[in-house]
């Protein structure tokens, strides 16, 4: 950790990744076990524990042995800034540079650590202050506020009800390419025509096209009812 300018502390890439990953994981659990973090980060358990201790000292995380970690408000601020950078970059790469949505994650992983707050702001302005990235993930604003939505997975979406694809939870390139083939991109209109029992396949109407997807895929596709929660 070092001060590169008077106003703002700059953290190492490893610290930023740690905080970002912990933030994303703690959306699903109150406290994130270090074992879960170490797996997600691809670093050893001892390094994870060591990092957690170091960040606890810097008051970025709360760390109690055997209880996992939770970010402090200061830790969340850092995480949200990196997440904002990441998602803005993904959208910028798609909209301005013509990348496809399955190509942008890796690029954004690298660039998210290197752009300044000023550049992030300029990208946001250039894109018209977007609220969602190409995968439907919400983009925190410059204050770290995130838009909240009630989304339901395609696996549970009511039969016959019109909905709109709002967010994809599995963002591996293979899955994204598959979903795109089926027309299941963010913003697409969708209805579930039939759902076979016992986690069988679903028959969908995606825009004007009928298609079939497995129940396993459906649980990663999140739907919103409002046409007006416009993607930008
Ligand atoms: Zn994304």
Percent of the chain with pLDDT over 90: 82
7 pLDDT band (50/70/90 cuts)? low
The answer for residues whose C-beta is within 8 angstroms of residue 113's C-beta and 6 or more apart is: 13, 16, 82, 85
Question: Mind listing the pLDDT tens digit for each residue in 95-109?
Answer: 999 999 999 999 999
3-state SS, 97-119, equals: CCCCCCCHHHHHHHHCCCCCHHH
Spatial distance between the Cα atoms of 59 and 70, rounded to a whole number of angstroms: 11
pLDDT at 127: 97
User: What's the pTM?
Assistant: 0.87
- Show contacts of 74-79: CB within 8 Å, 24+ apart: 75/19, 75/22, 75/23, 76/23, 76/144, 77/144, 78/11, 78/15, 78/16, 78/19, 79/16, 79/19, 79/20, 79/22, 79/23
CA of 132 to the centre of ligand 1 (A): 8
What value does the mean pLDDT take over residues 169-187? 93
User: Is 170 or 166 the better-scoring residue by pLDDT?
Assistant: 166
Two tokens, residue 191: 């209805």
CA of 198 to the centre of ligand 1 (A): 31
Spatial distance between the Cα atoms of 191 and 221, rounded to a whole number of angstroms: 12
CA of 127 to the centre of ligand 1 (A): 15
Q: Which of 30, 34, 57 is nearest to 47 (CA)?
A: 34
Residues around the ion ligand 1 (C-beta < 5 A): 90, 133, 135, 137
CA of 66 to the centre of ligand 1 (A): 32
CA of 5 to the centre of ligand 1 (A): 30
Spatial distance between the Cα atoms of 22 and 20, rounded to a whole number of angstroms: 5
Two tokens, residue 141: 């604003």
pLDDT at 35: 93
Q: Which of 51, 62, 58 is nearest to 14 (CA)?
A: 51
| Average pLDDT score over the chain | 91
User: Is 140 or 172 the better-scoring residue by pLDDT?
Assistant: 140
Question: Mind listing the pLDDT tens digit for each residue in 20-74?
Answer: 999 999 988 889 999 999 999 999 999 999 999 999 999 999 998 788 999 999 9
Question: Mind listing the pLDDT tens digit for each residue in 205-223?
Answer: 999 999 999 999 999 999 9
CA of 6 to the centre of ligand 1 (A): 32
Domains in the chain and their CATH numbers? 7-71 (1.10.10.10), 84-146 (1.10.10.10), 152-224 (2.30.30.90)
Residue 230 predicted with pLDDT over 60 = no
The answer for residues whose C-beta is within 8 angstroms of residue 67's C-beta and 6 or more apart is: 31
CA of 1 to the centre of ligand 1 (A): 27
CA of 142 to the centre of ligand 1 (A): 17
């Amino acid at each position: 950790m070092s001060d590169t300018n008077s106003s703002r502390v700059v953290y190492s890439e490893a610290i930023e990744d740690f905080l970002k990953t912990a933030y994303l994981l703690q959306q699903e659990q109150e406290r994130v076990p270090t074992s879960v973090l170490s797996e997600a980060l691809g670093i050893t358990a001892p390094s994870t524990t060591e990092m957690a201790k170091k960040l606890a000292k810097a008051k970025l995380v709360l760390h109690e042995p055997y209880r996992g970690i939770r970010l402090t408000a200061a830790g969340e601020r850092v995480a949200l800034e990196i997440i904002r950078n990441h998602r803005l970059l993904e959208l910028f790469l798609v909209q301005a540079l013509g990348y496809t949505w399955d190509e942008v994650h890796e690029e954004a992983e690298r660039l998210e650590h290197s752009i300044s707050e000023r550049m992030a702001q300029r990208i946001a302005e250039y894109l018209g202050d977007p609220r969602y990235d190409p995968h439907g993930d919400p983009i925190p604003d410059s204050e770290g506020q995130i838009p909240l939505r009630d989304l339901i997975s395609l696996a549970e979406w009511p039969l016959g009800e019109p909905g709109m694809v709002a967010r994809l939870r599995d963002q591996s390139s293979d899955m994204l390419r598959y979903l795109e083939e089926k027309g299941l991109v963010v913003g697409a209109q969708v209805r579930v025509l039939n759902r076979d029992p016992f986690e069988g396949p679903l028959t969908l109407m995606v825009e004007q096209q009928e298609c079939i997807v497995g129940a396993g895929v459906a649980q990663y596709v999140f739907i919103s009812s409002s046409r007006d929660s416009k993607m930008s």
